[in-house]
Each structure stands twice: as C-alpha cells, then as structure tokens.
Structure 1
C-alpha cells in the first residue's frame, strides 16, 4: 500500500477512514474557496449594482449633433462631482428639456463635440446618461481640465451654492452611481487616488501626479467654485454611502 494512503487511513480506524474521505475533500474545497475569496482583488469584492440610468436618446432625441467617435480610457478610478449652474426650482418632468439646453449650450456656444459630463442627476434622483460612448464603458469626458482621463464626471442639475438645500435623492443617486463606476477598479470612494494632470490649465502642471479624493468636487482638479459650497459640503456623506453600497466595512 502506498505510504500516502497508509498515512491517511491511519487517521481513522477501518471503514471510518473511507467514510471520512468525502468530508476531508469537502473541507479542503471550502478552505480553497475561502482562500480564493480572501485573495480576490478589491474590484471583485467591492462592487455595487448599476443604478437605473435614462439613456441619452430618451432626452436628446433629434437634437443630437454630428460628433467624432467617443474616446475611452482603460478604467475609471475617480469621480468628479459638478453642478450645471442652471435653475433649481424645476419640475423633474422638465429635467430632460433642461438637459437638452445644457447640451446645446456646450456643443453650440462653446463648440464642444458633446456634452462634457458623463452623467447628470436631477433633484429627484433620476440619473441621465450624458456624454456618448456607452454607460458601462470608461468614456473619456470633458468635465475637469487636466483630469478627464480615468475619471467620470457626474453633474447635479441645478446650482448648489452656499445655503441652497441639497435634496437627499440627489446625493443618494450620485453615491449609487459613484459606487457602481468605481467598483471595477477597486477604488474605495472614501480614499484617495493618484491621477496625472494632462493640462497645465488645471491646478497641477501637465505631467504632475496629484493625490485627489476618489470622489472629488470639480474644484479639486480645476480652479473653480463648482460644485458649489452646499454640494461640496455633502461630499463626505456621498463618499460614505458609496462605500456602503460597495459592501465595504465601516471606516475605523
């Protein structure tokens, strides 16, 4: 009898050893699975479901203008939060029309190739696809000078300067979107990321590696008051909720 078999059978008397073989195998399998889970990358362990998103065709309709093909990055590692600097007292049923106005302003007066934001969220918490290229893909936006690569721009429809109430539905939707977009890269929404500035007009010289919040306000990357003091003050809450939606443990 091979030595390995004698050793295994020597653990238990007679037929008990044979009966124990499936139990031993099962225990080994469970241990392997547990080790695999522990070794799994953060991207696999901390993800969030995709929230409901209104496609751009639903709000843009026939107003879409000819544009070049979308550009893509390898992944999304950070989120920049903006506001659109439009009126706040709108009926949410009118949000698509307001969003069309933002699009036409950016592609008309500013001569951009598309709306700059990857997503826009209204005060009722409805999320709209912004820039073309695919909701699920890492589309390169045009939202934060110097830091459009490997980031997603999420704009709140409205103007959230000091003293303006910020609806919970709005911040909850931003958190859900951030949690989902940052999940594949394994980014903790409460943490910081290293991003390389691509434009000297940003807060950082071109080529400089900056350490920025994973969920940052527009002003963190570019000299601006956007997204307004009221919405900026809610960013810590957005980060915490996004982390919980990813299933991350509470911060120590």
Structure 2
C-alpha cells in the first residue's frame, strides 16, 4: 500500500500465492482518521482469472460511538467496508489519493498511517457442543420395566418412587397403578426429555384487526399495569425464525466477554453491508464469519457490529451477542448506537434493487423486536446524537422508528434502492403488529 509520501497518481502492491481468502478490506491505525483517497482491489479466484478493479467503500459511519470504550480502545482501527470476493488466492491493491482543493491546506498525498491490506478467511464453522450425556442418561429412550409390569421411566408419576435407569426397583417401591388404569395392563410410555407442542396444534394467531365490538370497560378492581400490559400485547408480532450465532458458526473465543446494553430500543436502523451481491445464500454463514472476523480482528471492535443481518433469501441471523430479545448495544450507526438496533442486509443496494424476501424479513424482524419495546413501526421518536457528521453531539433528533442509516449520518447507506423500500417495510411491520 502507498505511504504518506506516495505520488498523487497512486501506488499499489501485488501479493500472489497468498493463503486463500474470501473477504478483503483496507485498515489503518487511527479509527478517526480519514482515507482521503479511493481504495481499489482486484483479486484472483482460486484456479481462475483476475477480476476487474473494484472499489472499497467508506465505512467510518458504521462504527461504535465516538466516546465509547469500544472506539477509544488501543486496538481500535479505521478501515474501509470489507468486500466479499469468494475463494481467492491472489490480490492487487491500490489507493488513489484525492486531489487537494483550494480550500484544503492538507497535501493531496496525506494518507492514514499504518495503511494495510486485510485478507480474511472465514474458516470453518465451529463444531457444535457435544451432547449432555448425563441428561441423556437421566431420560432413557426406552422405558424400564418394573416387577409389577408397569413401565417406569426417567419421569415418575405421582406416588411412584423413581429408579435409576437399568436398576431393579426396591422392595418398598409402590406398584399401585394410577387412578383409572387397569392395573398391570397399562401400556409403556417413553418419557420425553423435553415437552414439545403437538405438531397438529396451530400456533396462536392474534387477529390483525381489532374486534368490531370494543371490549367492555375493565372493572374498577383491575390494576392499571394489567391494562397497560394487555394493550402492549395487542400490538405484538410473532417472533420470526432467527439463525443463532452457533447456527452460522461464530467463534465465541475471539470476541470480548460480557455484553453492553441500552435501556430500550427506540429505532431500528437499516443498513446494507456494501460487501457486494455476488454470493449465494448457502455462502451467507461464511460471509458472516468473515465480517465478524473483520470487525473484531481487523477493526478491533468488541464483537460483530450489527444486531441482526439478513441475506438475499430472507434468512435472519443473530448478530452481536447478548440475547436477540434484549437491547444489546451494537456498533452500526456512529452517534446513535444507544437505544437502537442495527439491521444489515447482505449486499450493496445503491443501484440494485433489494430482493423482496429481504424486505419482507426486515418487516417481520422489526415488527417483533420493536413490539417487545412497545414501538409503532410507522411512528417517530427522538434520539440524542453522540456525535457525527450530520448532527452534533447532544442534538435531539427526530427519527422514524424504522430509519435508514442515512437518516442519522451523512452517508449513502443503506443504498438508494433499499432506502426507498423502507416505507413498505414500515407498513408491513405495522400490519404484523395488528395496527
């Protein structure tokens, strides 16, 4: 990569024969420093050809808040947005400095110190934890017969004396059949380790519109808190399917331990990851593992930045750890990470239309999560800026409850084509809440 004394024409570096990688980005030492130039890369697919030059987009606005320990930590760095390139084994990179303007006294060649190329291998998904063999022994797959012929399993009925798997009952064990049974003719029944709902039973569905006849006024003895709770439940939405961190193979050893929370969630900021659209949905877990490593290992953040991520097929993934139903503070919208959540769609949607399944997933996720905190997806609220290029620190800003990243920061994110879909996402989320 070129240094601070590079000529305005730009210089580059070629690295071939490197270990295979799938994600590439450029980082530098200080997170507050700006890359006054255009970083570009071209990569060689494993066993394939070189790609054209592609630009690495700005990323300083998707970051921890300016005064947060996460951004002030010694290990924190600045960087471009990462680019997904698929399995590759060769790379060329260059930075073309911006020409100085008449009003800018800084030289055109000034580039951040420590400029370097980051090549990320997503690695294999972490192995699932081994089964709890002690729990399996406690609940045998087949019932254990007793002297009286009545099946005895890991869970004993009332009045029965439980026995260890494979053990003979004690002489004093009760053999009295349960009321209504026919003595020793009872059929053995295996005891399930976990009680599961019957698959034939449909899930509870709340009507999408209020009943035509308003509910009667609650008796004077009803507590106000109970009425408030009932009203809150009225505007809830079902939880969508969410792929857990274990499901996409997050390596929990690389992140910081512990979690940071806000008091509530008032706004859902929608992003695009600007990692490109050339990925398959089967590759999404690898892409998430790569972004996770880039956020933690390359940029020095405490964990994955976004609270949730959605792929082009509408799959929803848990992002930053700490509990999907909790107000986990992420690193996604510089200046507005407190009391908000970040939802990123995998891809770049500046000119390309986002898939309908992804927009539907935004509506399902925000309807559920915002409903937990009594937020109307079609409403507005206020957040106090922690500092940024659009609002000064301490400014109270009116925002849509479902907002685009550009609403809180002067940025192109979440892309013009995705941003124009947020209106329909708000309406769909409100309908899912029964509004």
Q: Report deviation, 1:61.
A: 3.9
Return the alpha-carbon distance in structure 1 between the equivalents of residues 336 and 324 of structure 2. Answer: 19
2:365 maps to which residue?
177
1:45-194 to 2 correspondences below 5 Å: 45-62=234-251, 64-162=253-351, 164-194=352-382
Which runs of 5 or more residues in structure 1 are unaligned? 1-28
**Mapped partners of 1:39, 1:134: distance in 2:** 28
Q: String of CA shifts for 1:41-91, please: whole Å, max 9, x gaps.
A: 653321111111001122134474041411111211110000111121321
Q: Is the 8 A contact 2:296 2:302 kept in 1?
A: yes
DSSP-derived class of the 1:154 partner: strand
2:432 pairs with one of 239, 245, 251: 245
Deviation at 1:110, TM superposition (A): 1.3
Q: In the alignment, what sits opposite 2:395?
A: 208
Provide TM-score, normalisation by structure 2: 0.48
- Structure number with the higher helix fraction is 1
Distance 2:253 2:355 in 1: 30
More strand by share: 2
- Which structure is richer in relative contact order (CA contacts within 8 A, separation 6 or more)? 1
User: CA 1:166 to 1:66, structure 2 compared with 1: closer, same or farther past 3 Å?
Assistant: closer
| Offset from partner CA, 1:158-181 (integer Å, 9 cap, x none) | 11112x121111000011111111
User: Quick check: 1:146–1:202 contact (8 Å CA) kept in 2?
Assistant: no
How far off its partner does 1:30 sit?
Answer: 4.8
Which residue matches 1:22?
A: none
Which of 28, 37, 40 aligns to 2:228? It is 40
Task: Tell me if 1:224 matches 2:384.
Answer: no
Decide whether aligned partners of structure 1 residues 37 and 48 sit closer, same or farther in structure 2, where only a CA change above 3 A counts.
Answer: farther
Residue by residue over 1:74-127, the C-alpha shift from the partner in whole angstroms, topping out at 9 and shown as x without a partner, is 211110000111121321111000111111111122111111100000010100
The structural deviation recorded for 1:213 is: 0.8
Q: 2:225 and 2:297 mapped to 1: Cα distance?
A: 50
Contact 2:255–2:296 (8 Å) recurs in 1:
no
Q: Is the 8 A contact 2:307 2:319 kept in 1?
A: yes
Q: 1:60 to 1:38 in 2, by over 3 A?
A: closer
Residue 38 and residue 66 in structure 1: after superposition, are their counterparts in 2 closer, same or farther (change >3 A)? closer
Q: Secondary structure at the match of 1:224?
A: coil
Question: For residue 169 of structure 2, what is the aligned residue in structure 1?
Answer: none
- Alignment deviations for residues 200-232 of structure 1 (CA, whole Å, 9 cap, x no partner): 225211111110111000111112101100100
Name the SS for the 1:87 alignment partner: coil
Q: Is the 8 A contact 2:325 2:372 kept in 1?
A: no
Q: Is the 8 A contact 1:43 1:187 kept in 2?
A: no
| Residue equivalent to 2:423 | 236
Q: Tell me the C-alpha RMSD between the 2 structures.
A: 2.3
